[in-house]
């Protein structure tokens, strides 16, 4: 697959849409002022690749999957660019995201904009703003990631800078490995960092997304999620989307076994609160579904 090269054309600079991190120092570009550490939407046509980028090959399928995700959710993690002459920029980090954004049809991309010699001020601005209470867990994680990637800090050094244990830094950074939809859910307050930390221990994105939907639908607590993840590890074959944090009493087990005996198929009882619940019957194909339907008619 031939990958689309990053082009460079004259175009106007977009105004900053949000200020995740702000600083007293700003760079004036025409009538716009972009704060150091802020996020601005910039035209992809004005961005050029970093000539010192060590990675030149990007796996086509992974790039297409990212492009598909971006088409649905947008670019979750802004790229970082260096201001060049005029309205042109050079990528510091995020070339893969930029290529995927182009593939998805976007013409602009959110970016942190840096000047050539702002390393020290960037570090100070990021560390200062990480302390802000209004930042959500994903915003903090992105700030930690920037400090590591752009200021060449190790996790131990970062922990010392921000007054956190290395394990705390690691827990935040791991949030960025969750599917985009879950990251958005954290930003929007649909789930807490405690929920997310438990979900990270699941083996696949499919399992993570199944549990994410379960958390929202059943308003599961963090303890419920931890119990569900533990149960999944102990019983990997169990359909994760049907796991809840509620206790399974003997009567539920008895009824489940009776369903299985009569239908000769996997049956899961999803036990909710206030005595409510769901019955989910698994089938292998259309013929098996018809067989189960006939059995239900006979009961």
| Catalytically active residues, by annotation | 95
Q: Which tokens in the block code for residue 289? A: 């579904």
Residue 91: how many CB atoms within 10 A of its CB? 20
């Amino acid at each position: 697959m031939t990958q689309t090269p990053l082009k460079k054309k004259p175009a106007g600079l977009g105004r900053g849409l949000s200020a995740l991190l702000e600083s007293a120092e700003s760079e004036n570009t025409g009538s716009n002022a972009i704060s150091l550490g802020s996020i601005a939407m910039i035209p992809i046509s004005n961005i050029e690749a970093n000539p010192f980028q060590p990675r030149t090959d990007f796996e086509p399928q992974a790039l297409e999957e990212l492009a598909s995700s971006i088409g649905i959710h947008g670019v979750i993690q802004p790229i970082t660019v260096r201001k060049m002459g005029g309205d042109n920029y050079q990528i510091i980090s995020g070339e893969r995201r930029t290529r995927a954004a182009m593939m998805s049809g976007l013409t602009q991309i959110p970016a942190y904009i840096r000047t050539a010699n702002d390393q020290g001020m960037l570090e100070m601005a990021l560390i200062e703003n990480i302390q802000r209470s209004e930042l959500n867990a994903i915003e903090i994680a992105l700030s930690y990631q920037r400090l590591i990637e752009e200021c060449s800090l190790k996790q131990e050094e970062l922990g010392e800078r921000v007054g956190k244990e290395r394990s705390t830094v690691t827990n935040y950074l791991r949030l960025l490995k969750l599917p985009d939809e879950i990251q958005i859910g954290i930003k929007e307050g649909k789930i807490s960092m405690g929920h997310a930390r438990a979900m990270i221990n699941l083996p696949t994105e499919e399992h993570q997304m199944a549990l994410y939907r379960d958390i929202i639908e059943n308003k599961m607590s963090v303890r419920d999620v931890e119990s569900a993840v533990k149960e999944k590890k102990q019983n990997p074959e169990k359909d994760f989307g049907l796991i809840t944090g509620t206790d399974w009493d003997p009567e539920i087990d008895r009824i489940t076994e009776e369903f299985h005996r009569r239908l000769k198929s996997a049956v899961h009882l999803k036990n909710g609160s206030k005595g409510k619940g769901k019955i989910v019957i698994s089938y292998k194909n259309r013929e098996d579904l018809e067989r189960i339907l006939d059995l239900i008619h006979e009961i």
